[in-house]
Amino acid sequence: MAMLPTAYSRSMSLAAVLSSCFAALDRGEPQLPLEPVDGAVVVLADGLGALPLKARAGHARTIAPRLNKTTTIESGFPTTTAAALATLCTGAYPGQHGITAYEAVDPSTDRVFNHLSGWKTDPDPAVWQRLPTLFERYAGSGIRSYLVGQARYADTRLTQAVHRGAEYVSAKSISDRMSAAVSLARQGRALVFVYVPELDMAAHATGWQSPEWTNALEELDAGMAELERGLGRTRGALLTADHGMVDVQPSGRLFFDQEAELIAGVRHVAGDYRCVQLHLEPGASDGDIQGLARAWQAAEGERAWIATRDQAVAAGWFGPNGVDDDVLPRLGHVFVAARAQVAYYDGRTAAERAVAMVGQHGSFSADELNVPLIGFGAFAA
């Protein structure tokens, strides 16, 4: 049995990024070595892994030369957008803020929903994401907070959960978003968060090794050059990402519902396609949980890390502070975190579009965990 990986083993993760920028604006003591500034911009390029960036360095002449060991961090776990954004925007870990996967079980309604496109009604975003955001915490300090993104994300439930306290500014293209960020950062003390989904969308559709992903990288690189030119001496920017990406070929798409022992006693399947969370029926015993974990270990132990809920929490998968009691029921009883270049699907419920995705993430590989943290302007190394 492979030893379970540990999460948040490095001193820095996404939890330190936005909080450090606010501290630099507020003349506090940031965790990151940032100089005091009058304006700060944080650009989150969804799906921009450090390894793909290095592999396509010739297409990112502004960004890539600044990528090295000191400008690379581990994003955190799970390597999925909703959890990472919540960690970034609260400065806390999934075990506390409560967003623990792409798809999650809401214990109060006994249903599975996904945090991105499937969150239309309950749960209440202000309750489900349990902590004040950094935008809310600094609202009384005189720092203005803005979120610059595409119009379609302006009023989603995830935006309400993780970006509350920031004023939403819609801008269509990456260039438009960078221009808006420069303008907003110049308006007194301001924190501007810019969301760039284009690389993630391209990777899911055609893989990070595709021309489409490279084109999106070139567009981001041009945007960062534009942003840097507009910062001046007293404003800084950081470029980071929520996760990296693994390209999964058709042969790596595994349908586990075809093996009866792998779904024995399972009520709900949640998590991510590279980190499945299996929720057993109410009243399941510890023996039931252990039996399901053993079945998965026998079937997929060479390609995945298998952990029970207790083992995952003990290994710090959801943060070094453990998991709060209210969050614990949201976690699966058994976890299947991919080690190989595979993705796991429940063929009974998996949408055709999800199965067709090439780029995947959610687990512990270096391709998924390692992301850039690169400074520009007053934040340049």
**What angle is formed at CA 343 by the lines to CA 339 and CA 348, rounded to 5 degrees?**
140
**Do both 73 and 194 map to the same domain?**
yes
Predicted pLDDT of residue 1:
60
Can you say whether the dihedral through the CA atoms of 55, 59, 65, 71 is positive or negative?
A: negative
Cite the beta strand spans of the chain per DSSP E. Answer: 39-45, 72-74, 103-106, 111-114, 144-149, 167-170, 190-196, 235-240, 246-247, 253-255, 266-272, 275-280, 304-308, 334-338, 343-345, 359-360, 370-372, 374-377
CB 148 within 8 A of CB 171: yes
CB 33 within 8 A of CB 186: no
pTM: 0.97
In a domain? residue 1: no
Mean pLDDT computed over 30-52: 97
CB 86 within 8 A of CB 161: yes
Task: Tell the burial category of 226 from Cβ atoms under 10 Å away from its Cβ (0-12, 13-18, 19+).
Answer: middle
In a domain? residue 7: no
Predicted pLDDT of residue 118:
87
Our count of domains for the chain comes to 2
**Do both 39 and 96 map to the same domain?**
yes
Q: What CATH number is associated with residue 75? A: 3.40.720.10
The domain containing residue 339 runs over which residues? 250-360
Q: Kindly indicate the confidence band of residue 321, based on its pLDDT and cuts at 50, 70 and 90.
A: very high
Mean pLDDT computed over 305-310: 98
**What angle is formed at CA 86 by the lines to CA 8 and CA 19, rounded to 5 degrees?**
75
**Do both 104 and 206 map to the same domain?**
yes
pLDDT in tens, 150-188: 999 999 999 999 999 999 999 999 999 999 999 999 998
pLDDT in tens, 14-32: 999 999 999 999 999 999 9
**Do both 178 and 220 map to the same domain?**
yes
Predicted pLDDT of residue 12:
82
In a domain? residue 297: yes
Mean pLDDT computed over 218-225: 98
